[in-house]
Amino acid sequence: MRKILIYANASLLVLLIGLAACHNSAAPAEPTGETAAITQYPVITISQRQAILFNDYPATIQGQQNIEIRPKIDGYIEAIYVDEGATVKKGQLLFRINAPQYEQEVRTAQADIKIARAEVSAAQMQVEKVRPLVEKDIISKYELSSAEYNLEAKQAVQAQAEAHLANAQTNLGYTAVTSPVNGVVGTLPYKLGSLVSSNTALPLTTVANIGNIFAYFSMNEKESMALNRNSKGTTIPEHLASLPPVTLILADGAEYTEKGKVEAASGLINTQTGSVSVRATFLNPGNFIQSGSTGTVRIPQTIDSALLVPQKATYELQGKRFVFLVDANGTIKNTEIKVLEGSNGQFFIAQEGLQPGDKIVLEGIEGLKDGMQIKIAPANADSLFQRAN
């Protein structure tokens, strides 16, 4: 009996030793820093390349001419020949004003001229009657002089009557109101039968000549100085003439098909706003853009040697912008840069902090820390910035 127990205890001991050995062989070894996997990240090399930046300025749009049509006489609106928004030609009839007093003035002036002409004729006959009598010494020269003076007076009265007629006819012509230019009719605040005069507060309408449109915008003093510094010439007109064509972004965000030209800028800085008023001119075929609308003038700026940095390769911390610089061994360094924003929202232009040939991490920077080591996967910078431009 004792032998059996000893045998059983020995068997149990062998079994426990075997289980312990199996357990120890299944446990993995702890990894060391040298054997841990290094994550791969895309990396681009910074180089100088040409870039185009766009500076956007909110603008108000006016027609080439915005002419208020006002009555020059007192009267009632008898007829309206156009509607709001109608396209009109120069000299086209817009309104007719009922003013019978001017018709009466014309008739009166015409009658005065007839009387004056008759008196001139009578005075002329008197001169012709007296002259031979004076020549024969039948009457004195005084009588001839008196007749000639009377003729001159009657001729002056006739000239005055003719002037009154011309003035009356001019006033009568003001009853027909025509368009002074080609353009588009604005609002019509007065209806048929309305009493109007030269002192009426509102004009009869406004005719906007919008064959060309003017986009007015403002830039601050620093922007104006930079514009002059980066353009050719020594005077303001020379600076403006050297600027490239500009783009108009309409109120709905669409880009206007016609390119414009910056043609004028005020020579003074507004002391209240600190800005300079600038005007760009655009063609407006078909009167597509209306006077009084709004938009954005986009001015391009070409930089020949720019260090472009993708925005996704940067992050912002406490108002500063950083990238992860990569050395030849794959060790990253947190580096602050100063940038100039690109208007397309895809890249920055580095002004400080980077040099041509530097390598930075392109994507996945959220989990990186200063001093980490990564595996470099070179990214194609050329195709990246072609898409950005």
207: nearest Cα among 96, 97, 283, 95: 95
- Residue that terminates a domain, selected from 173, 193, 225: 173
Q: Is 184 within the bounds of a domain?
A: yes
Give the CATH number for residue 234.
Answer: 2.40.30.170
**Domain match, 92 and 188 both:** yes
Query: Are residues 198 and 69 in contact, defined by beta-carbon separation less than 8 angstroms?
Result: no
What's residue 36's pLDDT? 52
User: What is the number of residues in the chain?
Assistant: 389
pLDDT in tens, 372-384: 999 999 988 887 7
Q: Is 156 within the bounds of a domain?
A: yes
Show the DSSP H helices in the chain as ranges: 2-26, 100-135, 141-173, 221-229, 236-241, 381-388
pLDDT in tens, 280-310: 999 998 888 888 899 999 988 888 888 889 9
What's the domain count of the chain?
A: 4
- Rounded to 5°, angle at Cα 55 from 362 and 295: 125
pLDDT in tens, 202-222: 999 999 888 899 999 998 888
**Domain match, 193 and 222 both:** no
**Domain match, 376 and 265 both:** no
**Domain match, 188 and 168 both:** no
pLDDT tens across the length of the chain (389 residues): 333 333 334 343 444 444 444 444 444 444 444 445 788 999 999 998 888 888 889 999 998 888 999 999 899 999 999 999 898 999 999 999 998 888 899 999 999 999 999 999 998 998 888 888 878 888 888 888 888 898 999 999 999 999 999 999 998 999 999 999 888 899 999 999 999 998 888 999 999 888 899 999 998 888 788 777 777 877 878 888 888 899 999 999 999 999 999 988 887 877 788 888 999 999 998 888 888 899 999 988 888 888 889 989 999 998 899 999 999 899 999 999 998 765 556 888 888 999 999 999 999 898 898 899 999 999 888 877 765 55
**Domain match, 197 and 223 both:** no
**Domain match, 193 and 83 both:** yes
**Domain match, 165 and 230 both:** no
**Domain match, 124 and 222 both:** no
Q: Is 3 within the bounds of a domain?
A: no
375: nearest Cα among 333, 328, 334, 336: 328
Q: What is the DSSP string of 304-330?
A: EEEEEEEGGG-EEETTEEEEEEE-TTS
CA distance 44 to 385: 11
Q: Is 241 within the bounds of a domain?
A: yes
Domain of 167 in residue numbering reads as 100-173
Q: Is 31 within the bounds of a domain?
A: no
Q: What is the DSSP string of 129-191?
A: HHHHHHHTTSS-HHHHHHHHHHHHHHHHHHHHHHHHHHHHHHHHHTTEEE-SSSEEE------
Q: Is 167 within the bounds of a domain?
A: yes
**Domain match, 312 and 383 both:** yes
Q: Is 371 within the bounds of a domain?
A: yes
What's residue 387's pLDDT? 56
Residue 160 token pair = 């005055």
What is the pTM for the complete model shown?
Answer: 0.61
Beta bridge partners of 295: 59, 250
